A and B are shown apart, each in its own frame.
Chain A
Amino acid sequence: MNVVEKLVWQGVCLRADLVANSGVCALVAGEQVAIFYLPETEQQVFALGNRDPVGRANVMSRGIVGDLQGQLVVASPLYKEHYNLLTGQCLEDARVCLPVYPVRMDGDQVQVQAGN
């Protein structure tokens, strides 16, 4: 029988720890997760891997968020590639993708789903 890794919603921080229209980084089960807070979108919070695969440094939470051609994106602060906030896909290079983490607001708490 396959062991399906159990995913649980983990409380990571409070809404007050976030910065509107910008990102912060959280440590979730030993992994660095960039959490972006766009209060005027329906989903409000988005979570991607914090590691920039092109610049090879943990900096994605420090990028500028916005939209390009209708897609919500974050720009790497190192070399300015754009990544889709929902899919992690790099707009400039189809072979590059960031991990995406399920994330939600539970009241004032920010929760990320990650391996336990």
Chain B
Amino acid sequence: MNDRKIVVIGNGMVGHHFVETLVGLGTGDHITVIGEEPRPAYDRVHLSEVFCGREPAELALATRDTYREWGVQAVFGDPVTRIERAAKTVVTASGRRFDYHKLVMATGSYPFVPPVSGADHERCLVYRTIDDLGRIKAAAKDSRTGVVVGGGLLGLECANALRNLDLETHVVEFAPGLMGVQLDEGGSRMLRRKIEALGVRVHTSKNTREIVDGSGAALAMNFADEAVLDTDMIVFSAGIRPRDQLARESELAVGERGGIVIDYKCKTSDSDIFAIGECALFGGRIYGLVAPGYRMAEVVANQLAGEPAQFQGADMSTKLKLLGVDVGSIGDAHARIEGSISYVFSDERAEVYKRIVTSGDGKTLLGAVLVGDCEDYDTLLQYFLNGIELPAEPESLIVPAAGDKPLLGAAALPMSATVCSCHNVTKGGIVEALDSGCCSLGEVKAETRASTGCGGCAAMLKNLVEDELSARGVTVDKSICEHFPHTRQELYHLARVGELKTFDDMLAKHGRGRGCDICKPAVASIMASLWNEHVLEMPHVGLQDTNDTFLANMQKDGTYSVVPRIAGGEITPDKLIVLGEVAKKYGLYTKITGGQRIDLFGARQHELPDIWRELVAAGFETGHAYGKALRTVKSCVGSTWCRYGVQDSVGMAIYIENRYKGLRAPHKIKSAVSGCTRECAEAQSKDFGVIATENGWNLYVCGNGGMKPRHADLFATDLDDETLIRYIDRFLMFYIRTADRLQRTSVWMDNLEGGLDYLREVVIEDSLGICSELEQQMASVVGTYQCEWNTTINDPEKLKRFRQFVNADGGDPEVVFVQERGQNRPARPEEKIRLVARVASAAGAK
């Protein structure tokens, strides 16, 4: 550490990004960050998602621990009230003082509330912080109608929030159109049409004169044109204003209409003080988006690390989903540039509006507006940002009927082209990642973080990576092995469509050679998923990995472990006793698993049928711990016993486990059900997890523990039992259909183009029209379930392979155990030599 002290005022998204960047550069400064809100930085952009089930905590960008680990001193809930520039000290509300060598102001902005009489009513709120959300939620409880003042980007976000709170929602806008900054008149009109169809009432050209107590509702808004609107609550979201009060009091230069004046180095009029984000005024302009704020933060951090860096303004192009409507705006959306010409496409039936603005010669893209369909956004943005010459007929870029659109090949992009704007990854950065050894889309994503933010660039990135790889002569060979020139997904499809039921059929039709230990188990698993025949039926038996062959898990000494199913982790005392007795009789080492089951180790191959006869007689079924299949559904005790539980989590876990037991899949599948939001069953670390809510169940998908832990994503909220099961049916079958061999659900989803949103479209909205097929297929697997052990112990043919020796009784004499902590464990090689020798000499002495 050096002695330089950096103080950051403000812990919003930009302030946090600055700290993160500076820490990452390893300058060794003493960093202090002081925030006004009582909590560390969080994602304000996705604030409205809290109204559709996302927990506020999930928006967090950092925790107190994050800062502790970074060695950053963090102060929350104690805003800076004074800067003593001469002494180079800041003072907080509670009187704490912090010295600085360099000061960074990231004080952000505040919501603009028009000076209207009555706007200070307690039912008039703003929309900016997590605490604001709490107030909006509270007011919505006894409201029927809600008004948002402001029809811009933030206002419409807020309208979405009110709609999610089940309020009759109105948007009141002073200007003649919605989103006047980003959209032209035509785009604005189409947007209005679309959101009105969603039930949101839009009032434009409305100047609010006063807000008074209402008669039919809590409030009444009186407009300048004499119109009146009754409402129970009002949220102001009519733009932002920079928070520059502190700067004014400290006599730093501020703009005429607010904002701390900065130069291209983000320096204020005091060269030891920087300002970044929405409080800063650069070139007479406030940048009210998060990306330019991040760039400013990086510019300052780099300078502090001794690197030259400049802020050069930022492109304000934007693509977003407002109230479910796709909206995109690029560059000069209003065609204000002199001599520009426009091409407009409008389809009122499909409710799509597109406009591109080009230079007079039609060669350069100057701007664009997209409403209702943003598919062309990425391509248009690349034309715009990189000045790439447009095709001879520019309208072909937006007109759908014009046949195949000329695709902007990734090869046409210059190295400086930004592909992922969330993480500021350029084409050059991606090429570099490939040069340094990345060989696949997944690896490039992991290395560069490209396409891991909003995901908007996924298609562009995929094209670029594939182009670059093939340019390097790398054929992306996705064959499963030398016997099949197909991926697992393709094999699944071929088997399903061709109704192929054995490995030999598959090999004869689609493969060559005899198969191997890669393709045989993979095809066996596909057969099991599709046709659900017993894995030890004659045509399948030689295909299985040893664990599936012996319906148990091989351990290092060649013995097996046995895991009976204990659905939901619920077991009677009598059954527990049986497990104990069986373990004792066969000398098995016992251990409790993480999935709330009991694992019995050290079973010899020839003992497995005897062990299972006893277990089956006591009512146990196989637990499929040996298969790439559903393993266990963990649960907490839920509302039955727990003081906090809100649903019967054990009952649901047992139901789910019994429904999907035996389901063969590309990899193992784990699940859990928690009875309340305390999440004691750790459902968010599972392939699919269920968490009880007051109103039903929240479904999480694609999490896992293990080598690369990943939290599951919230997929759907407040589901009733039936819908929950339907979604899980579809989700699992879609996974089985499309995942790669040995691909867990998380990696599978990361590789799906469109990720979580796409998965929602397929499973919830049935965008591919396959849901009924997926459900039927699941119903067929569920309906043909058999306990593999129960069937096996009753079939002499299947028991053949359980003999250790085809020509002698007994077991492998070289399997030797020693005692440790009162139980058996495999003897180590040196112990074994001693023990086997002793046995042999004892036998010889006879």
Chain A residues near B (Cβ < 8 Å): 12-13, 17-22, 24-27, 32, 35, 38, 55-59, 62-70, 72-73, 75, 77-78, 80, 82
Cross-chain contact B545 with A77 (CB below 8 angstroms): yes
Q: A57-B814, A58-B814, A75-B516 are in contact. List 20 more A-B contacts (CB 8 A).
A: A12-B806, A17-B807, A19-B542, A19-B800, A19-B801, A24-B801, A24-B806, A27-B805, A32-B812, A58-B812, A62-B549, A62-B605, A63-B546, A64-B520, A64-B544, A75-B517, A77-B545, A77-B546, A78-B554, A78-B558
* Residues in chain B near residue A80, CB distance under 8 A: 517
* CB of B352 within 8 Å of the partner chain: no
* Residues in chain A near residue B272, CB distance under 8 A: none
| A64-B545, A66-B514 known; A78 vs B807 contact (CB < 8 Å) | no
Cross-chain contact A21 with B542 (CB below 8 angstroms): yes
* CB of B400 within 8 Å of the partner chain: no
How many angstroms from the CA of A97 to the CA of B520 in the assembled complex?
A: 24
Residue of B nearest to A13 (CB): B806
How many angstroms from the CA of A12 to the CA of B803 in the assembled complex?
A: 14
Cross-chain contact A65 with B542 (CB below 8 angstroms): yes
* CB of B557 within 8 Å of the partner chain: yes
Residue of B nearest to A40 (CB): B514
Cross-chain contact A12 with B541 (CB below 8 angstroms): no
7 contacts between A and B (CB under 8 A): A13-B807, A18-B806, A24-B806, A57-B557, A64-B545, A68-B516, A77-B546
* Residues in chain A near residue B115, CB distance under 8 A: none
* Residues in chain B near residue A12, CB distance under 8 A: 806-807
3 residue pairs, one from A and one from B, having the closest CB atoms: A57-B558, A77-B546, A75-B517
* CB of B376 within 8 Å of the partner chain: no
Cross-chain contact B556 with A66 (CB below 8 angstroms): no
Q: In angstroms, how far is the closest chain A Cβ from the Cβ of B534?
A: 15
* Residues in chain B near residue A20, CB distance under 8 A: 538, 542
Cross-chain contact A25 with B804 (CB below 8 angstroms): yes
Cross-chain contact B804 with A67 (CB below 8 angstroms): no
Question: Which of A22, A58, A64, A65 is most buried by chain B, counting CB atoms within 10 A of its CB?
Answer: A64
Q: In angstroms, how far is the closest chain B Cβ from the Cβ of A71?
A: 10
Cross-chain contact B516 with A26 (CB below 8 angstroms): no
Cross-chain contact A26 with B807 (CB below 8 angstroms): yes
Q: In angstroms, how far is the closest chain B Cβ from the Cβ of A28?
A: 8
Tell me how many residue pairs across A and B have CB atoms closer than 8 Å. 97
**Residue A68 contacts which of B482, B550, B812 (CB distance < 8 angstroms)?**
B482
Q: In angstroms, how far is the closest chain A Cβ from the Cβ of B331?
A: 56
Question: Which of B513, B556, B805, B814 is most buried by chain A, counting CB atoms within 10 A of its CB?
Answer: B805
Cross-chain contact A59 with B806 (CB below 8 angstroms): no
* Residues in chain B near residue A13, CB distance under 8 A: 806-807
**Residue B541 contacts which of A19, A58, A73 (CB distance < 8 angstroms)?**
A19
Mark B523-545 against chain A: 1 for CB-CB distance below 8 A, else 0.
00000000000000010011111
* Residues in chain A near residue B514, CB distance under 8 A: 38, 65-67, 72
* Residues in chain A near residue B538, CB distance under 8 A: 20
Residue of A nearest to B829 (CB): A56
* Residues in chain B near residue A70, CB distance under 8 A: 513
* CB of B521 within 8 Å of the partner chain: yes
* CB of B569 within 8 Å of the partner chain: no
How many angstroms from the CA of A66 to the CA of B538 in the assembled complex?
A: 17
* Residues in chain A near residue B808, CB distance under 8 A: 26-27
Mark B577-596 against chain A: 1 for CB-CB distance below 8 A, else 0.
00000000000000000000
| A24-B801, A26-B806, A57-B556 known; A66 vs B546 contact (CB < 8 Å) | no
Q: In angstroms, how far is the closest chain B Cβ from the Cβ of A2?
A: 28
* Residues in chain A near residue B550, CB distance under 8 A: 62
B interface residues, how many (CB within 8 angstroms): 36
Cross-chain contact B558 with A67 (CB below 8 angstroms): no
Chain B residues near A (Cβ < 8 Å): 482-483, 513-517, 519-521, 538, 541-546, 549-550, 554, 556-558, 605, 800-801, 803-808, 812, 814-815, 829
How many angstroms from the CA of A59 to the CA of B805 in the assembled complex?
A: 11
How many angstroms from the CA of A75 to the CA of B545 in the assembled complex?
A: 10
Cross-chain contact B542 with A25 (CB below 8 angstroms): no
Q: In angstroms, how far is the closest chain B Cβ from the Cβ of A59?
A: 4
Q: In angstroms, how far is the closest chain A Cβ from the Cβ of B826?
A: 9
Residue of B nearest to A74 (CB): B517
Cross-chain contact B515 with A66 (CB below 8 angstroms): yes
How many angstroms from the CA of A89 to the CA of B75 in the assembled complex?
A: 67
Cross-chain contact B558 with A25 (CB below 8 angstroms): no
Q: In angstroms, how far is the closest chain B Cβ from the Cβ of A44?
A: 14
Q: In angstroms, how far is the closest chain B Cβ from the Cβ of A45?
A: 12
* Residues in chain B near residue A64, CB distance under 8 A: 516-517, 520-521, 542-545
| A22-B801, A57-B556 known; A17 vs B806 contact (CB < 8 Å) | yes
Residue of A nearest to B538 (CB): A20
How many angstroms from the CA of A21 to the CA of B549 in the assembled complex?
A: 13
Q: In angstroms, how far is the closest chain A Cβ from the Cβ of B489?
A: 22
How many angstroms from the CA of A55 to the CA of B815 in the assembled complex?
A: 13
Q: In angstroms, how far is the closest chain B Cβ from the Cβ of A22?
A: 4
How many angstroms from the CA of A62 to the CA of B521 in the assembled complex?
A: 14
* Residues in chain A near residue B542, CB distance under 8 A: 19-22, 64-65
Cross-chain contact A66 with B801 (CB below 8 angstroms): no
Q: In angstroms, how far is the closest chain A Cβ from the Cβ of B182?
A: 57
How many angstroms from the CA of A25 to the CA of B538 in the assembled complex?
A: 19
Residue of B nearest to A36 (CB): B542
* Residues in chain A near residue B517, CB distance under 8 A: 63-64, 66, 75, 80, 82
Q: In angstroms, how far is the closest chain A Cβ from the Cβ of B626?
A: 12
Q: In angstroms, how far is the closest chain B Cβ from the Cβ of A72?
A: 7
* Residues in chain B near residue A18, CB distance under 8 A: 806
Q: In angstroms, how far is the closest chain A Cβ from the Cβ of B518?
A: 9
**Residue A27 contacts which of B541, B546, B807 (CB distance < 8 angstroms)?**
B807
Q: In angstroms, how far is the closest chain A Cβ from the Cβ of B168?
A: 64
Cross-chain contact B558 with A58 (CB below 8 angstroms): yes
* Residues in chain A near residue B803, CB distance under 8 A: 24
* Residues in chain B near residue A67, CB distance under 8 A: 513-516
How many angstroms from the CA of A72 to the CA of B801 in the assembled complex?
A: 22
Question: Which of B517, B549, B808, B812 is most buried by chain A, counting CB atoms within 10 A of its CB?
Answer: B517
Q: In angstroms, how far is the closest chain B Cβ from the Cβ of A116?
A: 16
* Residues in chain A near residue B519, CB distance under 8 A: 66
Residue of A nearest to B503 (CB): A21
* Residues in chain A near residue B520, CB distance under 8 A: 64, 66
* Residues in chain A near residue B814, CB distance under 8 A: 57-58
Cross-chain contact B800 with A78 (CB below 8 angstroms): no
* Residues in chain B near residue A68, CB distance under 8 A: 482, 516
**Residue B546 contacts which of A17, A32, A62 (CB distance < 8 angstroms)?**
A62
* Residues in chain A near residue B554, CB distance under 8 A: 59, 62, 77-78
Q: In angstroms, how far is the closest chain A Cβ from the Cβ of B551?
A: 13
* Residues in chain A near residue B549, CB distance under 8 A: 22, 62
How many angstroms from the CA of A18 to the CA of B550 in the assembled complex?
A: 16
How many angstroms from the CA of A15 to the CA of B770 in the assembled complex?
A: 47
| A17-B800, A59-B558, A64-B520 known; A69 vs B545 contact (CB < 8 Å) | no
* Residues in chain B near residue A78, CB distance under 8 A: 554, 556, 558
Cross-chain contact A25 with B521 (CB below 8 angstroms): no
Residue of B nearest to A12 (CB): B807
Q: In angstroms, how far is the closest chain B Cβ from the Cβ of A115?
A: 16
* Residues in chain B near residue A58, CB distance under 8 A: 558, 812, 814-815
Residue of A nearest to B814 (CB): A58
How many angstroms from the CA of A13 to the CA of B800 in the assembled complex?
A: 13
How many angstroms from the CA of A100 to the CA of B556 in the assembled complex?
A: 24
Residue of A nearest to B544 (CB): A64
Cross-chain contact A25 with B806 (CB below 8 angstroms): yes
Q: In angstroms, how far is the closest chain B Cβ from the Cβ of A58?
A: 5
Residue of A nearest to B546 (CB): A77
Residue of B nearest to A64 (CB): B517
* Residues in chain A near residue B541, CB distance under 8 A: 19, 22
Q: In angstroms, how far is the closest chain A Cβ from the Cβ of B552?
A: 11
How many angstroms from the CA of A62 to the CA of B560 in the assembled complex?
A: 12
* Residues in chain A near residue B546, CB distance under 8 A: 59, 62-63, 77
Q: In angstroms, how far is the closest chain B Cβ from the Cβ of A41?
A: 9
How many angstroms from the CA of A109 to the CA of B18 in the assembled complex?
A: 79
Q: In angstroms, how far is the closest chain B Cβ from the Cβ of A104?
A: 16
* Residues in chain A near residue B482, CB distance under 8 A: 68-69
